[in-house]
Structure formats: structure tokens, C-alpha cells
Chain A
């Protein structure tokens, strides 16, 4: 029975796959955090005016907020 060979074969396969994967990950192009952070910020600022949670939607147009009727005292 070559079961031990098969087991070793898959251990080697696993180890080789791990090394391949790490080689690939180590080799990708990266950007400095300062640049990446600035871009995240910029996106946020540009989109801020269309973000209902930041800008606020008046109760009249937000379907989830009740329209409070006027109470005449």
C-alpha cells in the first residue's frame, strides 16, 4: 500500500502551494499608506454630500421618518 507515499505527496503539494501563494502575495505592487489613506479620504469627501446619513434628509421626504402633523395649540 502506497498510502504513506500519497500522504507525503499531498503534504508536499500543500507546502508547495503555500510557497507559490506566498511568492505571489509577496510580489504584488503596493502603495504607501499615505497615498492610499489620502485617496480613501478624497473619495469620502467627494461622496459626503450624497450620503443621507451625513447630510440628513428632511422628515417629509424620508419614507422612514414620520411626517409630524402640525398641532395647533
Chain B
């Protein structure tokens, strides 16, 4: 699982000779390695010889064409053709096993705790609730100072949650079982964006949080100090979702936005390493395939797609003529064989990832499905909806 395309060179900058994280720059067709400061200075210098704004733009167009050509050269077969020899899946019986009621308005986001039992959810009513999904009891509840809490996440330790939305921030609340303590009192503001927070996720520890925002950027923050560690610029519009690569496959994450793009980022350098623009509308949800070599996306164009990172292209589309509403949220089963997708037509479709066919359609929610996650041990998945409820399916 080598990822040969990661840009993570560290060494002496070719211009200032300081020891920094380096990225490749091209000066008169020669490749050099500059630190991000020198690269920035070079980028905003006056025009170089033989260079005009028009020539740069036409070079960009030529490069885009070359990129498409390179990708097309390797497109020798379709995923579903390779999967013809795989046994078809049998019938699935999946039912709602628990319904979590208590939010006063649309459920916008949810996340599982690593203990495979607790769930945190956030709502338009400004409330964030921690549930025991086995008993459906509410264990914690906090009221945010804003409505539309669009993002929430459970810390890996299970001892804290993060959330945010229209307040443009991501705040961390430690979870305490002391009845005398007010959860809101221990709130720590970590991230500050200049527009709404659309997604957040702890990295593999409680110490760092990755955020995505309506301001078009993603950012990595240190929880303790609130310091910005790295920012990720490149989306041309609101970023709506993000997902971290499974820890074994390195320091990357994927994001999706209103610019119809899905972008893969190197967390250390802040650089975009791959970008995919095949969706025809907003990318609402992105999720890595369990091996880390691919990721799925769900979009307002009513399709879900699978992108393979090593082939650097889209390798499958999950769509049907009868599905005309946007997919808001996607997640894989443990083996990656099944893709669960929640839609704005209130249903959940279950797709055979390899063969490209739909294996099941689940009814139950009475409004849009806005969020969906498979539990950490893969025994169930939870969906949240604009009908104010969450459902656990198994």
C-alpha cells in the first residue's frame, strides 16, 4: 500500500536554504524544491520572461488536457467487469432496531464513539446529545449558542465531543458524569473560520481536530492551544465534508465541496495531492474505502461514485434513473463490499460496491436523511434525519 504520490519531502530549501517542508516548483522548466514561504514569494513575483497571464492560463488548459489523457490511458477495464467473477450478494434483511427521539428539530450530524455503543448527534435546534444506542437513553445534552449545529464528532478516547455550525467555530466539550458539573462550563473553542463549520473530525488522538468550512477551506487545529497547525486552500466554494484516511495509510484526508470537487490533501504540507471533478453538483459526503486506496462520495446530482486513488480516477457510479434526489451521506460496511447512502427522498440505498448494483432500499425516515455512519465494529449503522430522529439499523 505504498503511496508514491505523497509530497512529503523535508530538507533545505533551494532558495533560502532553511530546513523546511518542501514542495516542487518549476522555474523555466527546471524542477526545484522550495519551502512554502519562498514558493509563495515566487508565485506573486512580477511576470517572468516570456510569461503572460494568457500564457499561464493556456498552459493550465493544456495541462488539464494532459491530465485527462494520462488518466484515460490506464482506463483499460471497468470495476464491475473485474467483479463479474465475484458471487452476487444474497437478500438483506435490515430493519430499524432503535429509534432515538429527543431532538426538537432536524438532525444534521452524528458520530459513533469507539465503544461501538455511544452516539453523539447535533441538530438545527442548537442541541448536541450523547446517546447510549443500546438503551436509547440520553447521557449528555448541551445547548449551543447557535442554531444549525452542522457538525459533531466523538473524540477517540470517548471523553469529549466536538461540534459547531453557524457560530463559525468548532468547540470541544469534555464529557463528565459528575451531575453537578455543567457541560457548557468546560467548553473550549478550538477552531475559528470565517463562515459556517460544515464538518469536523478528531485525528487519531484527542489532541488535533480537522475542520471543513463554508469559507472554502479546511484546517487542522491543536485542541489544547487552539492554534492553527495547517490550512488547506484549493476548493473554489464551500467545503461540505471531510474524511481522514485509515491510520495505516498515512497522513491524508479527502474533502468534498460545492465546487463539485473531491480533493485529497497531504496533512503535513497542506498541499492538494489529487483532485477529482466528475460530479455534476455539490459533493455532500466523502468516505474512505476501508483499505485506504479509494473513497466514495455522495452528491446532489443523485449519484454516489467511487474514486480509486492509485488509478487516479473514478471507477464506479452508483445511480439509477429512478433516483433523482441528492445523496447526503455515505459510509462503507467493514469489508467495503456495501455502501450505505442516505438520500433527500427519505430513503437509504444499499449498494454492492464491486458490482455497482443496488442490493436494498430502506424506508423508515419521514424526511431527508442527513447523516449516516456505520458503527466501529460494523454490526449496525445509524442514520439521522430532518424528521428529528436517529435510527439504528442492523
Residues of A within 8 A of B (CB): 8-13, 15-26, 28-41, 43-45, 47-48, 50-54, 57, 62-66
What separation, in Å, do the CA atoms of A32 and B57 have in the docked complex? 30
**Are A36 and B315 interface neighbours, CB within 8 A?**
yes
- For B308, the chain A residues whose CB sits under 8 A away are 33, 36-37, 40
Pick from B273, B310, B394: contact of A65, CB under 8 Å: B394
- For B15, the chain A residues whose CB sits under 8 A away are none
**Are A33 and B313 interface neighbours, CB within 8 A?**
yes
* 4 new A-B contacts at CB < 8 Å, known A41-B354, A45-B86, A53-B334: A12-B46, A17-B43, A30-B310, A33-B315
**Residue of A11, A28, A45, A62 with most chain B CB atoms under a 10 A cut-off:** A28
**Are A63 and B134 interface neighbours, CB within 8 A?**
yes
Contact segment of B70-78, B101-109, B182-190, B220-228: B70-78
Given contacts A37-B83, A54-B333, A54-B338, contact A20 B378 (CB under 8 A): no
Pick from A12, A29, A48: contact of B44, CB under 8 Å: A12
Contact segment of B154-162, B287-295, B322-330: B287-295
- For A44, the chain B residues whose CB sits under 8 A away are 86, 335-337, 353-354
What separation, in Å, do the CA atoms of A31 and B1 have in the docked complex? 12
Which residues from 59 to 87 on chain B have a C-beta closer than 8 Å to any C-beta of chain A? 59-60, 63-64, 66-67, 70-71, 74-79, 82-83, 86
Pick from B46, B117, B274, B294: contact of A28, CB under 8 Å: B274
B380 contacts the other chain (CB 8 A): yes
**Are A16 and B56 interface neighbours, CB within 8 A?**
yes
Count of residues in B whose CB is under 8 Å from the partner chain: 71
- For B53, the chain A residues whose CB sits under 8 A away are 8, 11-12, 15
What separation, in Å, do the CA atoms of A41 and B83 have in the docked complex? 7
- For B39, the chain A residues whose CB sits under 8 A away are 20
Residues of B within 8 A of A (CB): 4-5, 7, 24-26, 39, 42-44, 46-47, 53, 56-57, 59-60, 63-64, 66-67, 70-71, 74-79, 82-83, 86, 89, 92, 94, 97-98, 117, 133-134, 234, 271-275, 289-291, 293-294, 308, 310-313, 315, 333-338, 353-354, 377-380, 392, 394
Output the least CB separation between B50 and chain A (Å): 13
Given contacts A30-B310, A44-B354, contact A53 B78 (CB under 8 A): no
**Are B43 and A13 interface neighbours, CB within 8 A?**
yes
- For A48, the chain B residues whose CB sits under 8 A away are 335, 337
- For B333, the chain A residues whose CB sits under 8 A away are 51-54
What separation, in Å, do the CA atoms of A11 and B56 have in the docked complex? 10
**Are A23 and B26 interface neighbours, CB within 8 A?**
yes
**Are A64 and B97 interface neighbours, CB within 8 A?**
yes
What separation, in Å, do the CA atoms of A44 and B293 have in the docked complex? 12
**30 A–B contact pairs at CB < 8 A?**
A8-B53, A9-B44, A12-B44, A12-B53, A12-B56, A13-B43, A15-B53, A15-B56, A16-B43, A17-B43, A18-B60, A19-B60, A20-B25, A22-B63, A28-B5, A29-B4, A30-B70, A30-B312, A33-B76, A36-B311, A37-B78, A39-B293, A40-B291, A43-B290, A44-B335, A47-B334, A47-B337, A51-B338, A53-B94, A62-B380
**Are B60 and A9 interface neighbours, CB within 8 A?**
no
Given contacts A37-B77, A44-B335, contact A30 B26 (CB under 8 A): no
- For A30, the chain B residues whose CB sits under 8 A away are 70-71, 74, 310-312
**Are A22 and B64 interface neighbours, CB within 8 A?**
yes
- For A17, the chain B residues whose CB sits under 8 A away are 43
- Smallest Cβ-Cβ distance to A57: which chain B residue: B379
